[in-house]
Amino acid sequence: MHITEQELRAIPAPAATATWNPIPHHEIFDQVKSACDEIGIGIVSSRFDSNKTGANVFVTHQLDLGTGSRRKPERYPELGWRNSIDKKLSLGFTSGLTVIVCSNLVFSGQWVDFRKHYHNLDTDTIKVMAVTGISEVIQQTMKLGKWHNNMKEHKRDRQHADHLFMEFLRNGIVSSRQILDLSNAYDEEKDRYGESLYTIFNCATQCFRELALPTVSERSAQLNKVIELDMDMYEAA
């Protein structure tokens, strides 16, 4: 269930033992904020979820990397974490362009790290995990920007776009009902980015908007493979 930051801070943690050190949820959040402040990263929004007792929490932060662009990104990179104060779950951090941190225990991203609540787990370790996750997502975002610019340099005409649209269908990236949506999106995207591979890529991503995050993750990975293969074939020719 969804909770507020104030409710998160009100959840008490049990006392530590000689071998187990439950970290209060709010201390992890504070270390995340401290790590962001030190690196110069802003938190755009945070979502807090917990089980009924509040013992297990699942948190996702959208991050503003401060690129200087006036245009709001379609999706902010994310840092997620989960914590347990009843020995049910290890402390986990994940980061990426899309992360999944759910109460059904789905926990994924481009980078993932876990720590058991042993006696040597402390706030310094938690901060290192947060800093590492943020650093990873910065690198991923920079790589993504370079990849997008590379796609813009690869020119593809409408005939090639139609060919790739069929490849998207064959690879399960879009459904047969979305082929018309791809075609309609092409003219709009072409006006913005010209006849390029980036235009074709954006047409496909528009079809992901109403999908659940796990499905978006799977289809995005497959889309990237098709685009990479197309780029490799042209560069080899």
Quote the pLDDT of residue 19: 92
Strands (E), 168-229: none
**Residue 113 and residue 134 in one domain:** yes
d(CA 154, CA 151): 5
d(CA 152, CA 160): 15
pLDDT in tens, 96-147: 877 878 776 677 787 899 999 998 899 999 999 999 999 998 888 888 888 9
pLDDT in tens, 158-204: 999 999 999 999 999 999 989 888 988 898 889 888 999 999 999 99
User: What is the residue range of 218's domain?
Assistant: 154-236
109: in domain: yes
How many CA atoms does the CB half-sphere of 51 hold within 13 Å? 13
**Residue 114 and residue 197 in one domain:** no
Total structural domains within the chain: 2
pLDDT at 72 over 80: no
The CA-CA-CA angle for residues 214, 90, 105, to 5°, reads: 25
pLDDT at 69 over 50: no
pLDDT in tens, 41-55: 999 999 999 999 999
Q: What would the two tokens of residue 40 be?
A: 């110069």
d(CA 63, CA 178): 31
Domain end, chosen from 80, 113, 143, is at 143
**Residue 21 and residue 126 in one domain:** yes
The reported pTM is 0.72
**Residue 159 and residue 130 in one domain:** no
Return all residues near 152 (Cβ < 8 A) that are at least 6 apart. 193, 194, 196, 197, 198
pLDDT at 71 over 70: no
